[in-house]
Structure 1
Amino acid sequence: MTTEDVLFLSIAELGARFRAGSLSPVDVTRATLQRIEQLDTVLNAFITVTGDLAMEQAEAAERELRSGVDRGPLHGVPVALKDLADTAGVRTTCGARILSDHVPTVDATVVTRLREAGAVLVGKTNMLEFAYGIVHPDFGQTNNPWDPTRTAGGSSGGSAAAVAAGLCFAALGTDTGGSIRIPASYCGVSGLKPTYGLVPLDGIFALSWSLDHGGPIARSSEDAALLLEVLAQRTLDVTPRGLKGVRLGVLEEHIDGPEMEPGVREVFMRALEALKDAGAHLVPVRIDELDAADAALMDVLLPEASVIHERWVRERPDDYAKDTRMQIELGFDVRGVAHVKAQRYRQRLAANFLDAMHGLVALLSPTVAWVAPHEDPVVADEAGAAEARRTAPTNLTGFPALSVNAGFSQQLPVGLHITARPNDDAVALALGAAIERLLGANRVPPLLDMPSVLERTSG
């Protein structure tokens, strides 16, 4: 088994080999760090690599597993964190100059849970500045493993690129309008925005209190479920469900539109045909008032973000990227009446989604209307609205939503978006796992291989 074979094992298979003694957490972590060193000069997926900490944690995991102490599926598994989750003793920058030297003294709740689960932290991943849709020039864009001339997406692009490229087995992301699912789509991995509030956000820097979600990015829905179980401290049954007779809604408003690339639509329609051939029953669905979601998102997001940044944008305006500062300033101009109306609209939209989902397991749509672009669009302009058009409604409603890889257009991944009812996160993940098996679209990006350093311990 080559190093690349090992670094692209499922988390379950990796854990089984750890427990059988055919692989070592120390050797796998060392190989992961070597791969980061080899590839991250191109990808720029990490802001901080925690090599010494990772090796200490891997050594501790190996000792515990050998002595019969088993902390669960993530024990000894290399993972990464989006760099807005506080890590005691490790800097947390939020991809921003303002926090470039910030070193927290207390872990975020999810970090504590990962430590207790025995996960190995290999680093803090790159992100758009304060998760607000713009790259700060001090940190630069995260590049896509499928084509490094293109973006990995935002704002959790570093986490998605790291997972896709084999620089970790899973990673934490956050999502306010699509920031887990858009990078997952662009990088060909699985990303879940859980039900609102399922994953605690204590110690995670906020963008918009009422829209923010934390969640997993992994190479499969089953791996994402294992990470979510730790983040949410909840047991999930995500055994891939049979597709025969399953009733799935197809969100008609999101299949077309002026921004929809023909290749993305073609991949999505092929996926629907495969689902029908597998026995799924597909039902066309339309949702009342869905066309108001773009404006409502901004009427919630802009003022909430501006309140968070009010002091810094007054005292340190030049430390922000130009477009980040512009968006913060825009938020001060949103009228209170518009914000309240948007919050009331969210309640109606959630009810409309539930009405449309009556008798259905989930809703399907493309995740994004296009494949990975060369640069991330600005959140507050039309391109930014179009990018998040298919993901943002579930931030407004708080429903769980998952992006899985459906295939390729222009040799780049295309995401399929699965929306489930509140607290049906396991349903979304089980359906995602079944679709991944059906489509067989999960692949390894054609990156440089690296010399095998695991042959002595892998079978």
Structure 2
Amino acid sequence: MRTSQDLCAPPAPTGTTENATGLAYLGLVEVGALIADRAITSRDVVESQLRRIAERDTELKGYVLVLEASARAEADEADREIAAGRHRGPLHGVPIAVKDLFWLKDAPTAAGTAVHRTFVPDVDATVVQRLRDAGAVLIGKTELTEGAYSDHHPSVTPPKNPWNDDYWPGISSSGSGVATAAGLCYGALASDTGGSIRWPAAANGVTGLKPTWGRVSRFGAFALAPSLDHVGTMARSTIDAAAVLAAIAGRDPRDPTALQDPVPDYRAAADTGVRGLRVGVDRAWNSADVDPETQAALGEALRVFADLGAEIVDVRFPDVAQIVADWVPNCAVEAAVAHEASFAAHRDQYGPVLAGVIEAGAALFGLDYQKILLRRAAFRGAVDALFSAVDLLLTPVQPFAPLTLKAIATLGEQPELIAMLQRYTCPFDMSGHPTLTFPGGFSNAGMPIGLQLVAGRLKEADLVAGGAAFQATTSWHQRHPEI
């Protein structure tokens, strides 16, 4: 972990008395309200976070860069503005982390790679600028897998799961999930191409909001596969994740693929509840090769939604076997385009996993790629049709209890296990539909189990309504690792 002051980790200070019930684990909206009311200053919150990062992150490795000097300056400016009556909204003065995929002006932005480790952009990504406009304090940049694909670069020490470091922290937004779960930020920017918000959110017991493709601008974000890349948020509750999404969503002249539709009031959606909403469930899909612990969490979630007044509707989801198989070559072709110049000139700086997928993408025949695109369009249409019958769909994030690092190390030898891991995630990147990942229970080993709600295109407000209602009556999201 580097800092913006000296680009090396400072010695950890001693004497902090914070615990899991202290300032670090207040909600984003909650701490923002305290700052707005001047019950506490943004500078006090930032100093508390910086102390906690220095103490804990030397082991957790969630951050690649801590922005100490600029975070303090931004906190002081927020305090001055609020004191003068210029309050910008719920993020004003609140420390937020940024996945090191997004350009940050005058700060190194490597996207988990060696080939880009000296890249310093001269402009902010749109999402970063929008966080600044909302008055958020950018406290640091979080670690990720190489180029946001499936493995960390060999030169990178992967972040550790704060619940148990023998367990997988998820990919590719590993640092964002770890930092959010460990109380090292109040929310984080993340991205999702095949499951990269949802796996870390589930693994670390936090809430992840992957919006509709194009709902959030990708300008200033390193591309993995542009037609699959979704920019989203992580926080410790639905309400908090929605507050960040509200700040970053919307049209952007610098990204012609950003959707033009107006951004709803997500905070108001959190208060609407689920009474009358139709929650779909494909019981066969949700149980096939799904372990008993995950099935139990799904069953309890369905009971909660029914008790809250939702209508539970049995549905049959389109078969995903082909679309899951198509995800890798689709991603590979787009990754080959995204890395075309740098890979040709600096092949030796790439790790073996990302290099392999780039080479596979460059070798794919045009006819085969076109068939993938046609199947993808048909699948997207089938999912759209499903949401004419329901408002939300409840699924697992993955079909098994949280994975150990030992199990993850065998993935390369077990293609069927990879397909199972992707079964409930990559289909919704291929279709572009929005999802919400939230904690729905714990395994017998004491690790969080994540569940997923899916909604129709541009129906993030329904996700917020569903997640907020669930979390208002359950406490899984309020549990924190003891670190």
1:98 partner SS = coil
1:340 to 370, 379, 400: 370
What is the distance in 2 between the residues matched to 1:372 and 1:306?
31
The reply on whether 1:38 has 2:69 as its aligned counterpart is no
1:298 to 328, 332, 335: 328
Equivalent in the alignment of 1:285: 315
**Quick check: 2:161–2:204 contact (8 Å CA) kept in 1?**
yes
TM-superposed deviation, 1:178: 1.0
What is the distance in 1 between the residues matched to 2:236 and 2:184?
11
2:138 partner SS = strand
Equivalent in the alignment of 1:208: 225
TM-superposed deviation, 1:440: 2.0
TM-superposed deviation, 1:3: 6.3
TM-superposed deviation, 1:238: 2.1
1:71 partner SS = coil
| Counterpart code for 1:418 | L
Structure 1 range deviating more: 13-22 or 313-322: 313-322
Equivalent in the alignment of 2:429: 395
- Listed one character per residue, the Cα deviations across residues 159-210 of structure 1 (whole Å, up to 9, x for unaligned) are 1111111100010000111111111111111111101101000010000011
Unaligned runs of 5+ in 1: 449-459
Relative to 1, partners in 2 of residues 1:311 and 1:383: Cα closer, same or farther, differing over 3 Å?
farther
2:151 partner SS = coil
Relative to 1, partners in 2 of residues 1:446 and 1:288: Cα closer, same or farther, differing over 3 Å?
closer
Equivalent in the alignment of 1:454: none
Equivalent in the alignment of 1:456: none
What is the distance in 2 between the residues matched to 1:139 and 1:2?
29
What is the distance in 2 between the residues matched to 1:316 and 1:379?
28
TM-superposed deviation, 1:106: 0.9
1:273 partner SS = helix
The reply on whether 1:250 has 2:281 as its aligned counterpart is yes
Structure 1 range deviating more: 297-306 or 241-250: 241-250
Relative to 1, partners in 2 of residues 1:380 and 1:155: Cα closer, same or farther, differing over 3 Å?
farther
What is the distance in 1 between the residues matched to 2:358 and 2:169?
24
**1:426-441 pair list within 5 angstroms:** 426-441=461-476
What is the distance in 1 between the residues matched to 2:239 and 2:80?
27
TM-superposed deviation, 1:2: 5.2
The reply on whether 1:27 has 2:44 as its aligned counterpart is yes
Relative to 1, partners in 2 of residues 1:254 and 1:54: Cα closer, same or farther, differing over 3 Å?
farther
The reply on whether 1:64 has 2:81 as its aligned counterpart is yes
**Quick check: 1:133–1:378 contact (8 Å CA) kept in 2?**
no
What is the distance in 1 between the residues matched to 2:183 and 2:35?
18
2:134 to 114, 117, 140: 117
Unaligned runs of 5+ in 2: 1-16, 251-262
Number of residue pairs aligned between Structure 1 and Structure 2: 447
TM-superposed deviation, 1:353: 1.5
Structure 1 range deviating more: 290-299 or 272-281: 272-281
What is the distance in 2 between the residues matched to 1:308 and 1:296?
19
**Quick check: 2:442–2:449 contact (8 Å CA) kept in 1?**
yes
| Counterpart code for 1:94 | A
Equivalent in the alignment of 1:15: 32
| Counterpart code for 2:417 | A
What is the TM-score normalised by the length of structure 2?
0.88
| Counterpart code for 1:353 | V
What is the distance in 2 between the residues matched to 1:344 and 1:313?
28
What is the distance in 1 between the residues matched to 2:161 and 2:87?
35
Equivalent in the alignment of 2:13: none
1:349 to 366, 375, 379: 379
The reply on whether 1:412 has 2:447 as its aligned counterpart is yes
What is the distance in 2 between the residues matched to 1:115 and 1:76?
10
Equivalent in the alignment of 2:397: 367
TM-superposed deviation, 1:379: 12
1:148 partner SS = coil
1:394 partner SS = helix
What is the distance in 2 between the residues matched to 1:412 and 1:169?
21
**Quick check: 2:172–2:196 contact (8 Å CA) kept in 1?**
yes
| Counterpart code for 2:224 | L
Relative to 1, partners in 2 of residues 1:97 and 1:73: Cα closer, same or farther, differing over 3 Å?
same
What is the distance in 1 between the residues matched to 2:436 and 2:285?
15
Structure 1 range deviating more: 242-251 or 129-138: 242-251
| Counterpart code for 1:17 | L
What is the distance in 2 between the residues matched to 1:133 and 1:379?
14
TM-superposed deviation, 1:436: 1.7
| Counterpart code for 1:64 | E
What is the distance in 1 between the residues matched to 2:416 and 2:226?
23
- Listed one character per residue, the Cα deviations across residues 390-418 of structure 1 (whole Å, up to 9, x for unaligned) are 01111111111111111111211111111
What is the distance in 1 between the residues matched to 2:412 and 2:64?
22
TM-superposed deviation, 1:359: 3.1
2:171 to 132, 154, 157: 154
**Quick check: 2:65–2:141 contact (8 Å CA) kept in 1?**
yes
Equivalent in the alignment of 1:424: 459
TM-superposed deviation, 1:340: 1.4
Equivalent in the alignment of 1:453: none
What is the TM-score normalised by the length of structure 1?
0.93
**Quick check: 2:274–2:465 contact (8 Å CA) kept in 1?**
no
Equivalent in the alignment of 1:452: none
| Counterpart code for 1:397 | S
- Listed one character per residue, the Cα deviations across residues 4-38 of structure 1 (whole Å, up to 9, x for unaligned) are 52222222221221122211100100000111111
TM-superposed deviation, 1:297: 1.3
1:189 to 202, 206, 209: 206
- Listed one character per residue, the Cα deviations across residues 86-105 of structure 1 (whole Å, up to 9, x for unaligned) are 00111001111111222111
**Quick check: 2:320–2:423 contact (8 Å CA) kept in 1?**
no
What is the distance in 1 between the residues matched to 2:463 and 2:202?
16
Quote the RMSD (CA, aligned, Å).
1.9
TM-superposed deviation, 1:338: 2.1
